[in-house]
Amino acid sequence: MQKEFMLGNEAIARAAAESGVKVVAGYPGTPATEIVDLCGGYPGVYAEWSTNEKHAFEVATAASLTNQRSMAVMKHNGTNAATDFLMHVNFTGIRAGMVLITADDPGGLSSQCEEDTRILVHNYAHLPMFDPSSVQEAYAMTKAAFELSEKTELVFALRPVMRINHAGGMVEYGAAAPQSRPAEFVIDRKRFVMSAVVEKESGGELRPKMRHRWLNAKQDELRALMEASPFNRAEKAPGEVGFIGCGIGYAFLKEAERIHGAKLPILKLSTLPLPEGKVLDFVSGLKKVVVFEEVEPVVEKLIKELCFEHKVVLEVLGRSGYLPKEGELSTNLVLTAVEAALAGKPYPATVQGQYVSARTRTQCSGCSHRGLLVALKEVVRKNGGVVTGDIGCHDAGTFEPMNLQATIYCMGSSIPMAYGIKKAGFDKPVYALIGDSTFFHNGLTGLASAIYNGGDITVVIAYNSTTAMTGFQPHPGSANNLNQPVTPIDPGAVAAAMGAKVFRCNPYNVEETARVIGEATAETGVKVVIAEALCYLKFGREGKISFTPRQVAVDEAVCNGCGLCVRTFGCPAISLADNKAAIEPSGCNGCGVCVSVCKRGAIK
């Protein structure tokens, strides 16, 4: 055993490599992203960025069916995209050990939504899950998940939260021992063909029902495993009020206990299904328990059910009403709840904090998206059009000061929503703004739907050759995959092949971009504008940029301080001081976009 400081994601990758993982597939998403890259660094491990989470899940499962250990990596809303597959692989089961990493982001610190994938993976798909309370435990659980998955023939899921993925701690670890096993694919259609086929052996029952029965029967085996699992344990202390910490909730609870200053009866629960015997044993004699979990009352409700079935009467408090129902837990929240529960009082109403000027997210200074956003804004200002948005760095165009996109939902929503607005009878132009990685993730099918159904929209694809927002992962439009150089798939060529009219522009050239979008708007049907310029932050470092740098400055004699360049544009390098615009040279990369923003021609 060696000991080293590791981030949660490093510990998970390390554990997977030590478990002999052979194939790792994922799609970037905070906070899980780094795991895939790190796995790729271990010898003998094949890692890839799939185009979306569903495909990552499928690739990893196929590897497991081929007798190789595998792992699929995604963030919570990525798991939503993979749900269709999830609801089948739970019925078929797998062969070699397979782990699904589904990272949650309580509080939505870096996400479009706040959700709890335990509901999806456990309550809905009935698969087992581990919920780590520390980086060390994330390591241990990943290793255990591979073993148990292989033993039970079920996908095991690890649900780390942001505070695990991105936290660092000392981790005791072992040696990477890649197992070499033959890549065999044994055909077993009865298991791996999910279809409404009549099963003779089961008296003519249909296969989906038979496999459902198989999955349900597995639950007893899982419960027995969790009962024996070291990840669940009780810490005895006197008192009639007990506290249950799930995953990171346990870490906050232990911290709160230390500040509180006296030992508390604590049950650590980190698995689903629950270790029912341990729970019943813990609650016996207690009058009340408070459950701390991220984010939904999953364990709380299971405990209520369990107590009801066993005719155990006690108060079970938690996320369903006692504690705040939304947002992240914290030590202070837990401490407040512990003290309130011990005093027999309700959780105190949260007082709204004092607002401290926010730092909103925006694009980097010199980002090509800003030119695109400002050009598109100019077009819709004139024609009253609406822009539906998508996920990526450009989504900050919805905030102040750009205020452009009118909707943002999930990956790929922009295109179907745009043509839906038209189908509803909206008579002004509608634009879908989507990035290249998102286009390949879940935009292709939306575009096909738009073309097939005779949509009349302009789709603008911001083609910057990387998945910038999550830290520059390559995608099918890039010149490399995770392992080697490749020929990029040009989204324009794809759109043209589907039958869209394709236009091209360089978003650093605002006039050209506005003109091209205008030309596209004038055509009928589905038009696609490819706004192509490399991500400045990534490729600028490599000496590749898509503009000719120029020195810009504000001509104070011409500037009348109207503030347009600040209030409607928002390049971080520009500010207003003493009623004149000023450009901070150290923050400016000379992209020249702002020159088109000042209508007085004061920026030169």
What is the binding site for ligand SF4 (CB under 6 A)? 363-367, 369, 393, 464, 468, 535-538, 552, 554, 559-565, 571, 573-574, 581, 583, 588-594, 598, 600, 602-603
Site for other proteins in 15-54 (CB under 8 A): 30
- Which of other proteins, ligand SF4, none lies near 30, with the C-beta cut-off 5 to 8 A by kind? other proteins
Q: Does 338 bind other proteins (CB under 8 A)?
A: no
Please, what is the minimum distance in Å from the beta carbon of residue 594 to other proteins? 13
Smallest gap from Cβ 414 to ligand SF4, in A, equals 17
For position 364 contacting other proteins by CB under 8 A, the verdict is: yes
Q: Where are the alpha helices (DSSP H) in 424-581?
A: 436-438, 444-452, 491-498, 510-522, 536-541, 564-567
**Residue 369 contact, options ligand SF4, other proteins, none, Cβ 5-8 Å cut-off depending on partner type:** ligand SF4
31 binds, among other proteins, ligand SF4, none (CB under 5 to 8 A by kind): none
Query: Do 450 and 416 meet the contact criterion of CB atoms below 8 Å apart?
Result: yes
376 binds, among other proteins, ligand SF4, none (CB under 5 to 8 A by kind): none
Among 66, 67, 83, 110, binds other proteins (CB under 8 A): 110
> Residue 577, class by beta-carbon neighbours within 10 Å (0-12 exposed, 13-18 middle, 19+ buried)?
exposed
519 near other proteins, judged by CB under 8 A: no
For ligand SF4, the closer of residues 155 and 598 by Cβ is 598
Between 178 and 563, CB nearer to ligand SF4: 563
Distance of CA 577 to the CA centre of its chain: 40
CA 241/CA 274 separation, integer angstroms: 20
Q: Which is nearer to ligand SF4, 460 or 583 (CB)?
A: 583
361 binds, among ligand SF4, other proteins, none (CB under 5 to 8 A by kind): other proteins
**Per CB under 8 A, 316 contacts other proteins:** no
Collapsed DSSP state (helix, strand, coil) of residue 366: coil
Compare residues 525 and 572 and give the one whose CB is closer to other proteins: 572
Q: How far is the CB of 370 from ligand SF4 (least distance, A)?
A: 6
Selection from other proteins, ligand SF4, none that 109 binds (CB < 5 to 8 A by kind) is other proteins
Binding mask 371-410 for other proteins (x = CB under 8 A): ----------------------x--x---xx---------
The option from ligand SF4, other proteins, none interacting with 163 (CB < 5 to 8 A, set by class) reads: other proteins
Answer whether the bond into residue 460 is a cis peptide, omega within 30°.
no
Using CB under 8 A as the binding rule, whether residue 259 contacts other proteins is answered as: yes
Which is closer to ligand SF4, CB of 169 or CB of 471? 471
CB of 169 to other proteins, least distance (A): 5
Q: Which does 500 bind (CB under 5 to 8 A by kind): ligand SF4, other proteins, none?
A: none
Q: Which stretch binds other proteins (CB under 8 A): 217-225, 309-317, 427-435, 563-571?
A: 563-571
Taking the least distance from each CB to other proteins, the nearer of 267 and 302 is: 267
Q: Between β-strands 233-235 and 266-269, what pairing exists: parallel, antiparallel or unpaired?
A: antiparallel
345 C-beta neighbours (distance < 10 Å), count = 9
Cα–Cα distance measured from residue 413 to residue 395, given in angstroms and rounded to the nearest whole number: 13
> Which CB sits closer to other proteins, 496 or 576?
576
SS3 271: strand
Q: Supply the DSSP symbol for 480.
A: B
Whose tokens are 């998955």? That residue is 149
Tracing tokens 């039970």 back to the chain, one arrives at 152
Using CB distances below 5 to 8 A depending on partner kind, what does residue 359 bind out of other proteins, ligand SF4, none?
Answer: other proteins
Q: Which of 178, 471, 518, 525 binds other proteins (CB under 8 A)?
A: 471
Q: Please, which contacts does 541-547 make with residues 24 or more away whose CB atoms are closer than 8 Å?
A: 546/368, 546/506, 546/508, 547/368, 547/506, 547/508, 547/590, 547/591, 547/592
Buried b (16+ CB within 10 A) or exposed e, 366-377: bbbbbbbbbbbb
Distance from CA of residue 120 to its chain's centroid? 14
User: What is the distance between the terminal CA atoms of the chain, rounded to a whole angstrom?
Assistant: 63
Three-class SS of 429-450: CEEEEEEHHHHHHHHHHHHHHH
- Residue 67 backbone dihedrals phi, psi, to 5 degrees: 70, 25
75, with CB counted inside 10 A (0-12, 13-18, 19+), is buried
Burial of 98 (0-12, 13-18, 19+ CB in 10 A): buried
Shorter beta-carbon distance to other proteins: residue 292 or 503:
292
Cβ neighbours of 425 (radius 10 Å) = 6
Q: Which residues of 450-486 are buried (b: 16+ CB within 10 A; e: fewer)?
A: bbeeebbbbbbbbbbbbbbbbebbbbbbbeeebeeee
Q: Which does 356 bind (CB under 5 to 8 A by kind): ligand SF4, other proteins, none?
A: other proteins
Binding site for other proteins (CB under 8 A): 5, 30, 109-110, 133-135, 163, 166-170, 248, 250-252, 254-256, 258-259, 330-332, 335, 356-365, 393, 396, 400-401, 468-472, 537, 563, 566-567, 570, 572, 574-576, 586
